């Protein structure tokens, strides 16, 4: 497929577009004794004493971040490995990949979530179509003023679209750090918490390489509004992520997203009518071949039923 980076030529590029060494972009954030360097590989270790994590040295606004990750092998039940972007404070924005471990032989699940102004509860969960413990796979977050796209090996698995014209807030004014961690969450991660972590199989190890950030860097010494203005295209500068062709998925990408959701989607907050936090759900139909899928498509005859967004309390 033509990836989201296919329109770089002639446009302003900010950040490191090629794979960088870990120390150029990141630093350990906790449990240094559970953090391992092995050549070009970084390993985070979880045992019954602690997990571990790392974070970016800078914050960013708009662009694309990618890691290559090999998840915990064998019995990983109860463990969560996370890759995410987040701003600071109670009204923070956040884009989450959470990889939920499972018993040996059962598929890994990936859960995504989007927080806007401190409000989350927008979970979607799917089973991966490959074994993520046998080799490295790329996981990416693409973000501009029109959409947030979650990608696995350059295949979109979720799109969160700017719906400000409907009065729904969209994350576009807060710079975000890039983070990853591994921790124990056996109270909910595997089969709703019914399967607990078997510590006799510890340590549980997640392995990383191929760190890429191609985004607008936002110094902490600069006021948030100035950073926001700096990272938006103008007559004087054009950023690659503001290319009009990146304001929505291509038709091919839309078909990929439809395939993922039709074959691997396990849970979508938009269709969970039992949730007490569901306040409003916007639903409409759009022809399936227009290439404009949003969060939560469902087949409905010859149409795609689109669950765009819900406001939560």
**Helix, strand, or coil here: 248?**
coil
* pLDDT at 305 (0 to 100): 30
Calpha distance 128→41 (Å, rounded): 23
Q: Which tokens go with 1?
A: 């497929």
Which of 98, 212, 217, 288 is catalytic? The answer is 98
pLDDT band at 210; cut points 50, 70, 90: very high
Residues near 223 by beta carbon (within 8 Å), at least 6 away in sequence: none
Q: Read off the pTM.
A: 0.84
In this predicted structure, which of 57-61, 173-177, 244-248, 277-281 has the lowest mean pLDDT? 277-281
For 60-117, what is each residue's pLDDT tens digit? 999 999 999 999 999 999 999 999 999 999 999 999 999 999 987 788 999 999 999 9
Tell whether the torsion through CA atoms of 154, 46, 85 and 257 is positive or negative.
Answer: positive
Task: For strands 94-100 and 137-143, give the pairing.
Answer: unpaired
Q: Which tokens go with 100?
A: 């939920």
Show the domains of the chain with their CATH numbers. Answer: 16-218 (2.60.120.200)
Span 41-56, average pLDDT: 97
Q: What's the DSSP call for residue 203?
A: P
**Does position 164 have pLDDT exceeding 90, yes or no?**
yes
**Does position 218 have pLDDT exceeding 90, yes or no?**
yes
**Does position 134 have pLDDT exceeding 50, yes or no?**
yes
**Does position 196 have pLDDT exceeding 80, yes or no?**
yes
**Does position 137 have pLDDT exceeding 70, yes or no?**
yes
Percent of the chain with pLDDT over 70: 81
**Mean residue pLDDT across the chain:** 83
Calpha distance 88→178 (Å, rounded): 12
Query: Any idea of the CA torsion for 138, 141, 147, 151, to the nearest 10 degrees?
Result: 20
Using an 8 Å Cβ cutoff, are 145 and 245 in contact? Answer: no
Which of 94, 212, 248, 308 is catalytic? The answer is 94
Residue keyed to tokens 């227009």: 290
Task: For strands 303-312 and 278-287, give the pairing.
Answer: antiparallel
pLDDT band at 182; cut points 50, 70, 90: very high
More confident residue, 276 or 209: 209
For 10-40, what is each residue's pLDDT tens digit? 344 444 455 778 999 999 999 999 999 998 9
3-state helix, strand, coil in the chain (%, to 5): 15, 45, 40
Residue keyed to tokens 């990618």: 66
pLDDT band at 156; cut points 50, 70, 90: very high
* pLDDT at 300 (0 to 100): 31
Query: What are residue 268's DSSP bridge partners?
Result: 124
* pLDDT at 222 (0 to 100): 83
Q: What's the DSSP call for residue 264?
A: H
Calpha distance 289→252 (Å, rounded): 10
**Does position 293 have pLDDT exceeding 90, yes or no?**
no
* pLDDT at 291 (0 to 100): 38
Mark out the alpha helices in the chain (DSSP H runs).
Answer: 22-25, 224-230, 251-264
Cβ neighbours of 202 (radius 10 Å): 16
Please confirm, yes or no, whether 98 is among the known catalytic residues.
yes
Residues near 208 by beta carbon (within 8 Å), at least 6 away in sequence: 22, 41, 42, 43, 44, 67, 68, 69, 70, 180
């Amino acid at each position: 497929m033509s990836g989201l980076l296919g329109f770089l030529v002639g446009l302003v590029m900010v950040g490191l577009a090629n794979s960088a060494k870990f120390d150029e972009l990141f630093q350990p954030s906790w449990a240094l004794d559970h953090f391992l360097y092995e050549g070009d590989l970084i390993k985070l270790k979880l045992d019954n004493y602690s997990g571990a994590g790392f974070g970016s040295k800078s914050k960013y606004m708009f662009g694309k971040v990618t890691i290559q990750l090999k998840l915990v092998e064998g019995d990983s039940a109860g463990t969560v490995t996370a890759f995410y972007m987040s701003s600071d404070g109670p009204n923070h924005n956040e884009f989450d990949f959470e990889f939920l471990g499972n018993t040996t032989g059962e598929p890994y699940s990936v859960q995504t979530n989007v927080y806007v102004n401190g409000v989350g509860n927008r979970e979607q969960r799917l089973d991966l179509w490959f074994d993520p413990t046998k080799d490295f796979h790329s996981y990416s977050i693409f973000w501009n003023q029109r959409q947030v796209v979650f990608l696995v090996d350059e295949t979109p698995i979720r799109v969160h679209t700017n719906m400000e014209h409907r009065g729904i807030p969209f994350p576009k004014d807060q710079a975000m750090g890039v983070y990853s961690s591994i921790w124990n969450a056996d109270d909910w991660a595997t089969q709703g918490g019914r399967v607990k972590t078997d510590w006799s199989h510890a340590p549980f190890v997640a392995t990383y390489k191929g760190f890429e950030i191609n985004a607008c860097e936002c110094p902490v010494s600069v006021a948030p509004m100035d950073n926001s203005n700096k990272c938006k295209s103008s007559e004087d500068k054009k950023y690659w992520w503001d290319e009009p062709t990146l304001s929505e998925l291509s038709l091919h990408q839309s078909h990929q997203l439809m395939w993922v959701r039709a074959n691997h989607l396990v849970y979508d907050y938009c269709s969970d009518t039992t949730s007490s936090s569901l306040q409003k759900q916007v639903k409409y139909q759009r022809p399936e071949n227009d290439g404009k899928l949003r969060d939560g498509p469902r087949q409905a005859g010859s149409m795609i039923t689109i669950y765009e967004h819900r406001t939560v309390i």
